[in-house]
Amino acid sequence: MTAGVATHCPYCALQCATTLHPANQPGAGPVSVEPRDFPTNRGGLCQKGWTAAAVLDVPDRLTTPLIRKDGVLTPASWTEALDYVAERINALQAEHGNDSVAVFGGGGLTNEKAYALGKFARVALRTANVDYNGRFCMSSAAAATNRAFGIDRGLPFPLADVGDAQAVLLVGSNLAETMPPAVAHLAKAQEQGGVVVVDPRRTPTAALADVHLQATPGTDLALVLALTHVVLQEGLADQDYLQERTDDPDGLHRSTAGWWPERAERVTGVPAAQIRQAARLLAAAAPANGGEGCVIMTGRGAEQHSKGTDTVTACINLALALGLPGRANSGYGCITGQGNGQGGREHGQKADQLPGYRKIDDPAAREYVANVWGVDPADLPGPGKSAVELIDALGTPEGPKALLVHGSNLIVSAPRLASVRERLASLDLLVVADVVPSETALLADVVFPVTQWAEEEGTMTSLEGRVIRRRQALRPPGDARSDLAIFAGLAERLPTRSDGFSLDPAEVFDELREASKGGIADYAGISWDRLDAGEALFWPCPADDHPGTPRLFADRFATPDGKARIVLVDHRAVADDLRADAPLYLVTGRLLQHYQSGAQTRRVAELASAEPEVFAELHPRVATRLGVPDGGEVELRTARGSMRLAARVSSDVRPDTVFVPFHYGGAGAVNELTNDALDPVSRMPEFKVCAVEVLAVANTREVSA
């Protein structure tokens, strides 16, 4: 086989290393994908990665701009489309002000695109209204780690460190389906009986666990408080670490004293004996107790709640009690989901951030970044609305009248979809940049066809904070162009007349490096040449001769006094809890074959045929009460909507729980039902759990828990 082009998978934040080879068989697609050895995937790929090239030439690939004329999306030239969008933006901002135009980004955009999107919003549009779909994914963990450690990097250690740990606690993460190659890093912990999984379902990951804590949905926080209680009360904590490296060890004792395992059992449904078993297992692996290392990691199952930040905080407090952060093969980390979920939140897509993870309301940060951009700091807008709040404001008298969407499929991925459709329909202008006619793109007034992973150069940042190179293997089809071309084309047509938007991703990255310099996420010493030579640079990397920082917190935390902050938290019920007319919990999650909103994977025949339709997973006891056989039709009703779908009967789910995957659009979009109640800190919506009524379609008999 020829050398091919070395790049990385387009899907999750594991960013598995691949080599692309030109296809040598007719009808085989533009390239073939071969895995290559890399510290995250160790030569492995999942089914999505193996079939990734199929998305490059799907029949409905967007290849020319489209403008809606007489209700129909009609092909147009780039000049016509850019002129039209700029004219509408100019008119709306002249009448309603700069904030009348909003921008919504995505965690799959390259670092260069994410940076340019944030700059475009603040410099060309001068709007405060910019946010991205990462608000739906990692924001609770980001908020928790920032307030505890002073820094947010998904894993503050290389993923390979997990492979050397004696015990691993996974809270709300289904690695075996979402990131299958990552399961190899659990091998040592499995050999030593040290894998603990918290999940209301017996997922493929839970099936690998030595201890599966099958908690009631929405009670992870209470469970982790109980684990910490056992560690502290049984003398298993690292008291020296707590005294030397944290700010309030006494507060941690007080805040968990009331969460004895028997109380937690009543709340979570997890037997008290099992809670004690798990706590002792984790403590035995802690370095202070002579263990070989213990890692605690959270995923969306813990984070997508109205108390997600506090749940992650409880996990961090448990890690601190055990003395894990900064120690060998130990620590707390967030398993970032989207391909560039880490880099995408570092360089300005978020409503409250500037490049380098700087805060937009920090005068010094504003002055520094404004100088890099060549603008007056006073001209930079302040913090804007978070994703759900931004969507809720669209089309309202005081809200944005136009929305530009890059790298997100809101009509599938946002909560309470009926409201989202209503808000998008109320806009004067909806512009969507995408590679395929996603559900959101089909509603747009203008659609821009953009390049995707194998057709572009750039960088991504993995879940470990490792910056890697994405390399071009193919020419874009038709007239598809990079999002960078959209930002540049619109910027030169707007009143600001900005010419500071390069089409060259290498130039954009060099500017990003300068803009991030001195910030928390400092990329100043990371260059494409260095990445091409080694592919192993972790931020922060402040200088050209700096080796990068694979592991954080060895000596101090990124707080003013170097100590971790112990934030005291307590359990509270889910926002939409069980009631007489909705006696079961609805939880949502992922499938092995699909990714995010499914816009890509549902177009891959091999993946679509494996899981072609949405389903509701019910416990046999529930199915019996309903009189619904496996494959029978049920109706789900929540306070926000209803849907009909096939039942899949399985004892892997709790009797009080219904599971539905969220990858499907149209009538199969479960986010019609999910709750948009927000975490007060992260502004994360409560996707993961809400009360639901389940009815058999044939006889409409109600089921109770």
Nearest partner of 294 among 322, 316, 313, 252, judged by Cα: 322
Q: How far is CA 233 from the centre of its chain?
A: 35
Q: What fold does the segment set 140-334 form as a domain?
A: Dimethylsulfoxide Reductase; domain 2 (3.40.228)
Write down the CATH number for the domain with range 584-696: 2.40.40.20
pLDDT at 704: 46
Query: Which amino acid makes up residue 202?
Result: R
Cα 432 to Cα 66: distance, rounded to the nearest angstrom: 10
pLDDT at 499: 76
- 5-57 matches 87-136+359-538 in fold: no
pLDDT at 27: 53
Residue 29 pLDDT > 80, yes or no? no
In the sheet that holds 5-8, the strands lie side by side as 5-8, 17-22, 31-35
For the chain, the structural domain boundaries read 5-57, 87-136+359-538, 140-334, 584-696
Nearest partner of 492 among 128, 123, 129, 131, judged by Cα: 123
Region of 357 (left: φ > 0; alpha: ψ -120 to 50; beta: rest) is: left
Cα 206 to Cα 187: distance, rounded to the nearest angstrom: 14
CB atoms near residue 236 (< 10 Å) = 18
Q: How far is CA 7 from the centre of its chain?
A: 21
The 10s digit of each residue's pLDDT in 408-467 is 999 999 899 999 999 999 999 999 999 999 999 999 999 999 999 999 999 999 999 999
Nearest partner of 679 among 220, 310, 267, 173, judged by Cα: 310
What mean pLDDT is predicted for residues 566-579?
96
Tokens of 422: 């209503």
pLDDT at 700: 46
CB atoms near residue 569 (< 10 Å) = 21
Residue 126 pLDDT > 50, yes or no? yes
Nearest partner of 449 among 489, 477, 430, judged by Cα: 477
* CB contact at 8 A, 227 and 279: yes
Q: How confident is the model at residue 3 (pLDDT cuts 50, 70, 90)?
A: confident
Residue 480 pLDDT > 80, yes or no? yes
Residue 702 pLDDT > 60, yes or no? no
pLDDT at 26: 54
Give 5-57's CATH code, choosing from 3.40.1280.10, 3.90.950.10, 2.20.25.90, 3.40.190.10: 2.20.25.90
Strands 537-538 and 466-470: antiparallel
State pTM to two decimals: 0.95
Residue 662 backbone phi and psi in degrees, to 5? -105, 20
Tokens of 549: 């920082």
Residue 699 pLDDT > 60, yes or no? no
Annotate 617-665 with DSSP letters as a single string.
EE-HHHHHHHT--TT-EEEEEETTEEEEEEEEE-TTB-TTEEEEE----
Residue 243 pLDDT > 80, yes or no? yes
Tokens of 309: 């930040």
Cα 274 to Cα 220: distance, rounded to the nearest angstrom: 14
**Close Cβ partners of 441 (under 8 Å, ≥ 6 residues apart):** 62, 409, 432, 434, 447
Tokens of 374: 């060549």
- State the CATH architecture for 87-136+359-538: 3-Layer(aba) Sandwich (3.40)
The 10s digit of each residue's pLDDT in 31-85 is 899 999 999 999 999 999 999 999 999 999 999 999 999 999 999 999 999 999 9
pLDDT at 705: 46
Q: Which residue's entry shows tokens 């056992």?
A: 230
Cα 307 to Cα 156: distance, rounded to the nearest angstrom: 23
Nearest partner of 309 among 135, 563, 53, 77, judged by Cα: 135
Q: Which residue's entry shows tokens 């640079």?
A: 537
Cα 31 to Cα 473: distance, rounded to the nearest angstrom: 8
pLDDT at 24: 64
pLDDT at 1: 42
Alpha-carbon dihedral sign for residues 354, 355, 357, 358: negative
Residue 182 pLDDT > 90, yes or no? yes
Query: Which amino acid makes up residue 555?
Result: D
Residue 701 pLDDT > 50, yes or no? no
Cα 514 to Cα 453: distance, rounded to the nearest angstrom: 25
The 10s digit of each residue's pLDDT in 272-313 is 999 999 999 999 999 999 999 999 999 988 998 999 999 999
